[in-house]
Chains A and B, each alone.
Chain A
Amino acid sequence: MSQTAVEKILSQHVGQPVRPDELVIVPVDTIMASDATAPYAIRAFEEMGGGDLWRPDKVILVIDHAAPAPNQRIGNLHQMMRKFAQEKGCRLYDVGAGICHQVMVENRHAQPGEVVIGADSHSCAYGAVGAFATGVGSTDLAALMRTGKTWLKIPPTIRIELTGRLPAGTVAKDVILFLVGQLGLNGASYQAIEYTGEAIDGLTLAGRMTLASMSVEMGAKAGIVDPRGLELPYRFEPVWADKQAHYSQVLRFDLSNLSPQISVPHSPDQVVPLEDVQGTRVTMAFIGTCTNGRFEDLQAAAAVLKGRSIAPHVRMIIAPASREVFNQALQEGVVETLSQAGATFVTPGCGPCVGTHLGVPGDEEVVISSANRNFRGRMGNPNAKIYLASPAVVAATALCGVITDPGQVMEKTTSSS
C-alpha cells in the first residue's frame, strides 16, 4: 500500500498500516509542555492519579512563554514546573534556554520519523526534520505523561508542490505567508501538509522550521517537509513519501516570481505583496519566535542594519530563539551589529509574541513582527495593529520607520559602496 510520509510514520508507530480518517491509539516518542500549558497538565496529571511518568526521559518541560517570570503568580507557576521536574525526574529547560520548539530540535528531542506531541500549537514545527508532530492542550498532554499514548484520527495529506527557484530577496517566510494567504485559516483543517518541490529543496533547517511552524495557521494537524536537501548534525534515516501515495489534494505553486509577502491586521491569512502596504508607519519592530528567531534570521536583519541606525521613533526588540542562537549571534558579531543599530535584546524565549510581557504595544501602535500570528490583541493590546513579515523586512522597516522592502535599502548600500 502506497503511503504519504505521515501515514508511514503513523503506521510504524501504530504497528499496522493506517488509512486516512481511521481512529487509532498511537504510542509517541517524545512529549513537551511549556509554561503556558504545563501547569494545567501537571494538575490534570495529579488528578488522574499522579505517580510516575510514562518515561521521564521523554517528557520535556520548557519555561519560555513568560520567561523570566514577570510577576508573582507566574513565578509560582514556574516553581510548580521545577518541583514537578525534580520529583518526576523529567527534563526541564529553564529561563533563557529558549523557545520550546527550538530547544526540542536543537537538543534532538524531535527527530526524523518520530511522533512528537507538544502542548503548544506550533509543535508542528518538528515537521521540519521529518517528524509527525502536532499540538494538543494540557489535559491531552497529562494523559500522554501517564500513558505515552494518545488517540488520533489519521489525517489525509495535502501535497503542496513548490516549483521554480525562489527569487533573490525572498525567503521561507515569504513562501509560508503566501501559502497561508492562499489556503486561508482553515484551508488544511484536520489534515496534514507535505511540502515538497525544488523551490524548497535548498532551504536550511531554519527555513524548514519557518515553513512547518506556520502549518497550524492553515488549521493543519501537521506539516512535514520533504527530507530532500535536509541537513542535520547527526545521521538519520529519512522517511520518504511513496511515489504512488494518495493525497486529498495536490496543490502546485510556481514560486519563481514570488515577491516579499506581508500579513496585514488582524489575521495571518490576510496576506498581500509587501509593495501594497509600503510606506505604512510603524513604531515597534520585533524579531523572534519559533517561526523566525533563529541565527540566520538575526543574520538577515544584521545584513540590513550593519553600520546604520533604526529610525528614532521605532523600538526594535529581538528575542533569540534559544541561548545557542544568541551565543552564535554573539560570536559572529551579529548581536553587536544589531545592538549598535539600536535594537534591544531580550531573554531567549517567546518574548512579546504572546502578549504577556517584554514589549506590549500601546493603543494605535503599529508593529512589524517576524512572528506567526497577528490576531487582534495577540501582543497584549487589542488596539494595536500587527503586520507579519520576514526578518529582513522587519529590519528594513525598523531602519526606515515605515514598511520597507529590504531590496531597496540593500541596493542603496551596494550603490553607495
Chain B
Amino acid sequence: MKGKVHLYGDHVDTDQIIPGAYTKTLDVDELASHVFEYLDPDFRTRMNSGDFVVAGENFGCGSSREQAPLALKAAGIAAVVASSFARIFYRNAINIGLSVVEVGPHEIENGSELEIDLKAGALTDLTAQRTYPTAKIPAVMLDILNEGGLVPYLKKHGDYQL
C-alpha cells in the first residue's frame, strides 16, 4: 500500500489520539470526527483515506481505550508507523485490524510518500528513496491481523492458537 505521511513526535498519548470525552460511543464515525482533535485540529480536513500516520517513540501511550485505533481506522488511516508503540495500543490496533509498523529510529518527513508491504515487512520512503527494516510482528499477532482482527480470528478458530 502507498500513502502520504502525517508526521508526529514521541509519546503521542491516547488523549491526543481521541480525547476521553468523545470515547463513550459505539459510533466509529463519531470517533473518527474527533481524531487528533487536540494534537492537530486540521488533520481531518488535510488527510485522505489510505494515508499513514508516522510517529516517534511510544505511540499510543496512556489509556487502554480501543477507541484510539478505532478512530484512526474509521478516519481512513491505512497504517500507523512508529519508532515504537505503547503495548496496549499495539494490541488494540491489531485486534481491530489496523496495521501497525514498528520501524525504529527514522528520518521520514511530513508529507512524504511511503510504500508499505506488510507481508514482506518492507517500508520504503519513496520521497527520500530510502528503505527501512521493520520489526517482526509476533506470529500470533500476524495471524490475528491476517484474519482482519481478533473477532474474525476467534470466530474462525474458536480459541487462541500458538
Write the residues of chain A forming the contact surface with B, with a CB cutoff of 8 angstroms.
Answer: 23-25, 35-37, 39-40, 43-44, 47-49, 65-66, 73-74, 77, 119-121, 123, 135-140, 142-143, 146-147, 149-151, 153, 185-186, 189-190, 219, 221, 267, 354-356, 360, 373, 375-378, 380, 382
Residue B155 is within 8 A (CB to CB) of chain A in the complex:
yes
A377 CA to B20 CA in the complex, in Å?
9
29 contacts between A and B (CB under 8 A): A24-B162, A25-B162, A36-B20, A37-B64, A39-B24, A39-B26, A40-B67, A40-B70, A43-B26, A48-B151, A48-B154, A77-B26, A121-B63, A135-B64, A137-B88, A139-B66, A139-B95, A140-B92, A143-B150, A147-B159, A151-B160, A185-B61, A186-B57, A189-B86, A189-B87, A354-B20, A377-B19, A378-B15, A380-B21
Contact B21 A356, beta carbon cutoff 8 Å: yes
Chain A residue with Cβ nearest B11: A185
| Residue ID in chain B nearest A118 by CB atoms | B64
Chain B residues 135 to 153 lying within 8 A of chain A, measured CB to CB, are 138-140, 149-151
- Nearest-CB distance from B43 to chain A (Å)? 14
Report the Cα distance A40→B35, complex, angstroms.
Answer: 18
B138 in complex: contacting residue of A23, A355, A373, CB < 8 Å: A23
Residues of A within 8 A of B26 (CB): 39-40, 43, 77
CB of A121 within 8 A of CB of B162, answer: no
Q: How far is the CB of B145 from chain A (nearest CB, A)?
A: 13
- B residues near A (Cβ < 8 Å) are 11, 13, 15-16, 19-21, 23-26, 38, 57-58, 61-67, 70, 84, 86-88, 91-92, 95-96, 138-140, 149-151, 154-155, 159-160, 162
Point out the residues of chain B lying under 8 angstroms from A221, CB to CB: 87
Which B residues are in CB contact (< 8 Å) with A373? 13, 15, 62-63
- When chains A and B are docked, how far (Å) is the Cα of A252 from the Cα of B57? 26
Which residues of chain B come closer than 8 Å to A143, judged between CB atoms?
A: 150, 154, 160
Task: Taking A139-B95, A151-B162, A356-B21 as given, write out 9 further A-B residue pairs in contact, using a Cβ cutoff of 8 Å, ordered by the A residue number.
Answer: A25-B160, A36-B24, A36-B65, A40-B26, A77-B25, A123-B64, A142-B151, A143-B160, A355-B20
A139, A149, A219: the one within 8 Å of B159 (CB): A149
In the complex the two chains form, is A40's CB within 8 Å of B66's CB? yes
Q: Specify which of B19, B24, B70, B160 is in contact with A35 (CB 8 Å cutoff).
A: B24
A64 to chain B, nearest CB (A): 12
Determine the distance from Cα of A186 to Cα of B61 in the docked complex, in whole angstroms: 8
Contact A48 B155 (CB under 8 A): yes
Using A37-B66, A43-B26, A74-B24 as known contacts, say yes or no to A186 and B19 having CB atoms under 8 A apart. Answer: no
Q: Find out whether the CB atom of A375 lies under 8 angstroms from the CB atom of B16.
A: yes
In the complex, A189 Cα to B85 Cα: how many Å? 9
- A137 touching B64 in the complex, CB below 8 Å, given contacts A356-B24, A375-B15: yes
CB distance from A403 to the nearest CB of B (A): 23
A376 touches B62 (CB 8 A): no
A139 and B160 in contact, given A23-B138, A376-B38, A377-B16 (Cβ under 8 angstroms) = no
Q: Are B25 and A73 in contact (CB under 8 A)?
A: yes
Min CB distance A55 to B, Å, is 15
B88: A residues at CB distance < 8 A: 121, 135-137
